[in-house]
Chains A and B, each alone.
Chain A
Amino acid sequence: MIDRKIRVLIAKPGLDGHDRGAKVVARALRDAGMEVIYTGLRQTPEMIAEAALQEDVDAVGLSILSGAHMALVPRVLELLKANGQERVRVFLGGIVPDEDVPILLELGVIGIYGPGTLSDTYINDIRKAVQAAAA
């Protein structure tokens, strides 16, 4: 059990400019009492890992609608690990084809939340995963 604030980085890697979903998730996490570091559009995996390190976040949410998730997500996970942040939980929003979901979950992504997901779903998943990682 952790009693401190959960800190989450929300980032949009890659080149698509649709950040509506990322902002909705950021706002929902804020309303759930979390501290959300919002980094904005067109982040490279290197920028995301660096921000996650400096901000010492508990979780990273990536919003990807460009189809580049199979390249970007493994790279972010790899960089987090290289920085000693393997306990940081990573979740995904955007458009991910069904056949990629098991592969991403296998890599360690805690959840993939497409359009229509209720905010309570990912809020609860993040809380549980962060508490389990801190235990």
Chain B
Amino acid sequence: MDFVQGVLAGDKLALARALTQVENGTPEGRSALSSLFAHTGKAHLVGITGASGTGKSSLVNQLARYYRNPDPGGSPCRVAVVAVDPTSPFTGGAILGDRIRMRDLAGDPGVFIRSMATRGSLGGIAATTAALAQVLDAAGFELILIETVGAGQSEVDIARLAHTTVVVEAPGFGDDIQAIKAGILEIADVIVVNKADLPGVENTERALRSSLDLAHPAPRRNLHHGRVELVHMSDDPAAESASIWAPPILRTVAIEGKGISELAKAIDSHRAHLHETGGWEQRERWRLQSELDLLLTDCLVAGFRSRLPSGIYEQALAGVLERRISPLQAVEQLMDRTG
């Protein structure tokens, strides 16, 4: 079946099947992805991340509703949702339950929701989440909301995928030291304190705000292959300081729809900011470079493994298990064997 024509023509069945093929990394999926790639680059990718139970799915539901029926003056856009839930490390199975909170979106032909499991990835999204977003982008969805697994401190892969990352917090999830630890707050372009009708919301907001005051303004450094790269927005320090985005902190009560239009406006202004400051191009570059490097690594490893004489890898592994050689020595031996 020709997925590509179907996806571009807006055929939902072709889109759904293309997503499956891409997720499973089949030859059909890879070829479809390559043909569709030329049609990507138009969508705004928004990541929604935060701990389990902070209300990510409910917020995604409300955001999608808002973008379908924006405040007067806005025009509705087509919304896709990619909702990621964890795969069991023991059985390989998964319960994907994010749709439960998204029932308001049922029946709207301008909304497409796809659930996916992490299938072993640890960064909060699956290895193929980026590829699924590309297929949805090519299919003409203007806004793609990507909901990560319940993320704690180090599940920050979403920042490499999304243009705008929304970090969702809720009252009662830790003190001010949690807020200054490295990790998830650093990737926030917009911070949401959801469940803002619960007691303790002021404390949560204060801790987040003081953490941000300590952090900004700071130019962004990206960790790339374990090395820190300083990202230059501009050679002119004044322009660079103007290009720094201070993440707003917003309160929402997702199940009542409170604070949603303000959140959507913050997401939209972040997109506008990226366009005005050249940040959009920079993130595109960062995004696609990460993807390229990841694919390159996979291919190199697979190619390397296929060139190794059979049994050599197992021998090296056995050596490490018996503590005869260190993992580093094992790698050196393997590299020598293939020249």
Residues of A within 8 A of B (CB): 4-5, 7, 26-27, 29-40, 43-44, 46-47, 50-51, 53-56, 83-85
Q: List 9 A-B contacts (CB under 8 A).
A: A5-B119, A7-B20, A30-B88, A30-B94, A35-B93, A35-B117, A50-B107, A53-B13, A53-B16
Query: Do B16 and A40 touch (CB < 8 A)?
Result: no
Query: Do B99 and A5 touch (CB < 8 A)?
Result: no
Asked whether A47 and B107 contact (CB < 8 A) given A54-B114, A56-B20, the answer is yes
B170: chain A residues within 8 A (beta carbon): none
CA distance A31 to B89 in the complex (A): 11
Report the minimum CB–CB distance from B241 to chain A (whole Å). 44
Query: Do B19 and A56 touch (CB < 8 A)?
Result: yes
Minimum CB distance partner of A58 in chain B? B20
Please classify the interface of chain A as helix (H, G, I), strand (E, B), loop, or mixed, using the class held by over half of its residues.
mixed
**Interface residue B246 (Cβ < 8 Å from any Cβ of A):** no
A29: chain B residues within 8 A (beta carbon): 93
Query: Do B113 and A54 touch (CB < 8 A)?
Result: yes
Minimum CB distance partner of A83 in chain B? B13
Contact of A53 among B12, B96, B99, B107 (CB under 8 A): B12
Please classify the interface of chain B as helix (H, G, I), strand (E, B), loop, or mixed, using the class held by over half of its residues.
mixed
Mask: chain B, 90-131; 1 = CB below 8 Å from A; 0 = not: 011111110110010011000011110101000000000000
Query: Do B99 and A38 touch (CB < 8 A)?
Result: yes
Query: Do B100 and A33 touch (CB < 8 A)?
Result: no
CA distance A84 to B92 in the complex (A): 29
Asked whether A39 and B100 contact (CB < 8 A) given A30-B88, A55-B16, A56-B20, the answer is yes
Query: Do B94 and A51 touch (CB < 8 A)?
Result: no
Q: Which 8 A-B pairs have the closest CB atoms?
A: A30-B93, A40-B100, A56-B16, A47-B106, A33-B92, A56-B20, A37-B96, A38-B97
**Count of interface residues, chain B, beta-carbon cutoff 8 Å:** 28
A27: chain B residues within 8 A (beta carbon): 95
CA distance A33 to B112 in the complex (A): 25
CA distance A29 to B88 in the complex (A): 12
**Interface residue B209 (Cβ < 8 Å from any Cβ of A):** no
Residues of B within 8 A of A (CB): 12-13, 16-17, 19-20, 24, 26, 87-88, 91-97, 99-100, 103, 106-107, 112-115, 117, 119
Report the minimum CB–CB distance from B119 to chain A (whole Å). 8
Report the minimum CB–CB distance from A6 to chain B (whole Å). 9
Asked whether A37 and B24 contact (CB < 8 A) given A5-B92, A51-B99, A53-B13, the answer is no
Asked whether A31 and B91 contact (CB < 8 A) given A47-B106, A50-B106, A84-B13, the answer is yes
Query: Do B100 and A38 touch (CB < 8 A)?
Result: yes
Query: Do A37 and B107 touch (CB < 8 A)?
Result: no
Report the minimum CB–CB distance from A124 to chain B (whole Å). 15
CA distance A30 to B86 in the complex (A): 11
CA distance A54 to B105 in the complex (A): 12
CA distance A84 to B96 in the complex (A): 23
Query: Do A40 and B99 touch (CB < 8 A)?
Result: yes
Contact of B96 among A4, A33, A35 (CB under 8 A): A35
Asked whether A30 and B114 contact (CB < 8 A) given A38-B100, A56-B16, the answer is no
B17: chain A residues within 8 A (beta carbon): 56
Query: Do A33 and B93 touch (CB < 8 A)?
Result: yes
CA distance A85 to B100 in the complex (A): 22
Minimum CB distance partner of A31 in chain B? B91
Asked whether A30 and B12 contact (CB < 8 A) given A40-B100, A40-B103, the answer is no
CA distance A54 to B111 in the complex (A): 10
Asked whether A36 and B94 contact (CB < 8 A) given A54-B12, A56-B20, the answer is yes
Minimum CB distance partner of B112 in chain A? A54
CA distance A29 to B117 in the complex (A): 14
A32: chain B residues within 8 A (beta carbon): 91, 93
Query: Do A36 and B95 touch (CB < 8 A)?
Result: yes
Report the minimum CB–CB distance from B112 to chain A (whole Å). 6
Query: Do A85 and B13 touch (CB < 8 A)?
Result: yes
Asked whether A37 and B99 contact (CB < 8 A) given A46-B107, A55-B115, the answer is yes
